[in-house]
Amino acid sequence: MLSKEDNMLIAQVGPGTAMGEAMRSYWIPILLSYELPENDGRALRVRVLGENLIAFRDSEGKVGLLDEHCPHRGASLYFGRNEECGLRCVYHGWKFNVSGTIVDMPNEPPTSTFKNRIKANAYPCAERNGVIWAYMGNKSDENRPDLPDFEWNLVPESRCYISKRVEDCNWVQAYEGGIDSSHVSFLHSRLNPTDFTGSPREKGMKYMAGDKFPHYETIETPYGMMVGARRSAEPGYHYWRITQCLMPFYTILPSYGTDSPVSGHAWVPIDDYSTMVWTITWHPIRDLTQDELDDMKYWSPDRVGTSEGNGRHLPLNMYMEETSIANSRWRSKLNLANDYLIDWNAQATKSFSGIPTIAMQDQAVQESMGPIFDRRKEHLGTADLAIIRMRHLWLNTAKGLQERGVEPVGVSAPATYHIRSASMRLPEDADWVREAELVTSADQSKVHFV
């Protein structure tokens, strides 16, 4: 349960809000590089942290991110002419480079210094391995943090698959679904636990199906929090699933099976009422196979995927047609208005929810809570420990920055983001934290899963 004030404090992300300012201390992933495919190509509407922005790639390939509205009289720069290292407003021809500097003001006399006194609001961008990041905070070039060392953003692109989808609800309830290990035994389960496929994932899935009330422990880390969910395994052993919670809105999920890829999410707030869910699956030491990629891109009720990532990503045939509205390319055809195409017959006979794909199962329950759930009305149990701890971390971070200027957790520790998750079968008396620390470093070349 949270008070109304604390609930809104973590939910609201616009400029000037406590959580919004905390988030602006970090680099934010905003686009995949292929969304801006060519130099001098069309500009793109972007909405993130409640701000309407325009992204463009200039003649040299550099990415610019400007306020949507031209600082002259507010026309949208979406219609701008992207030419010779700048975006030119089509209303009166003012032209801006990627830093927001006005490089041409053709409706003023050439002798005028007016253009030197005005700038468009522009956010610095960085691009690495197919991902465009923006820094929306107020630190100058030299004081800005480095990009976080996520393994998925450091491996070659052939080892990583990223998809995105828009969720119509606040980022907090979306994120909380991502660290809530106990729902996996229900929402994503099949009715008949013997209905497995012989894949290497099965051992872990059977432990999950066999113990539906895991014991949780959490520890704080330099990047946020590590969560251990302990379930019964064979006599004398426990099955531990380690989830990484990285500030401000990332998760790395425990996978199944040896040689399995790893998955994680970034729950990036579009505004207070919608979230861009990035789903990322990567293999630390080898390229993803064609089978693994197909499992992520295609889905049908008859196709039972065998690899990590199947159903976690929204399949390609479930996206709506793109329009020029910001983020429209990442909307699902399955939504609240059509009940996410739930198959009631499948719910009765095959799967716990009847909703197609893990991604849509998550989205359905998270959106069904309403735009921002009133957390005065909830009743948290022992299974919700990780959520309770994460809320404390967010609240302390947001209030610490707002009230005392304390830098948010992880901003100055980008190297500590170089970690993975793990799932482990350990003897009952083992120290899970020590074991987890040994196997979750992304520096070692082995992937650790049961």
Residue ranges that bind ligand FES, judged by CB under 6 A = 70, 72-75, 89, 91-94
CB of 121 to ligand FES, least distance (A): 14
Which residues neighbour 228 within 8 Å (Cβ) at sequence distance 6 or greater?
216, 217, 218, 240, 241, 242, 432, 433, 436
Whose Cβ is closer to ligand FES: residue 92's or residue 392's? 92
CB of 183 to Fe ion, least distance (A): 6
**Which of ligand FES, Fe ion, none sits in contact with 418, Cβ below 5 to 8 A by type?**
none
CB of 49 to ligand FES, least distance (A): 24
Whose Cβ is closer to Fe ion: residue 208's or residue 436's? 208
**Which of ligand FES, Fe ion, none sits in contact with 362, Cβ below 5 to 8 A by type?**
Fe ion
CB of 88 to ligand FES, least distance (A): 8
**Which of Fe ion, ligand FES, none sits in contact with 62, Cβ below 5 to 8 A by type?**
none
Structure tokens at 210: 């066999």
CB 227 within 8 Å of CB 218: yes
Residue 346: burial class (beta carbons within 10 Å; 0-12, 13-18, 19+): middle
Q: Segment near Fe ion (CB under 5 A), from 99-107, 167-175, 268-276, 362-370?
A: 362-370
Q: Rule CB under 5 A: is residue 367 a binding residue for Fe ion?
A: no
Residue 332 is classified by DSSP as: B
Instruction: Please give the Cα distance from 176 to 305 (Å, whole number).
Output: 25
CB of 312 to Fe ion, least distance (A): 8
Asked if the bond preceding 248 is cis, omega within 30° of 0, the reply is yes
Whose Cβ is closer to Fe ion: residue 355's or residue 439's? 355
Q: Segment near Fe ion (CB under 5 A), from 45-53, 66-74, 123-131, 361-369?
A: 361-369
Whose Cβ is closer to ligand FES: residue 79's or residue 352's? 79
Residue that the structure tokens 């197909």 belong to: 294
Whose Cβ is closer to ligand FES: residue 97's or residue 189's? 97
CA dihedral for 204, 244, 163, 345, sign (positive or negative): positive
CB 236 within 8 Å of CB 429: no
SS3 of 230, please?
strand
Which parts of this chain interact with Fe ion (CB under 5 A)?
Answer: 362
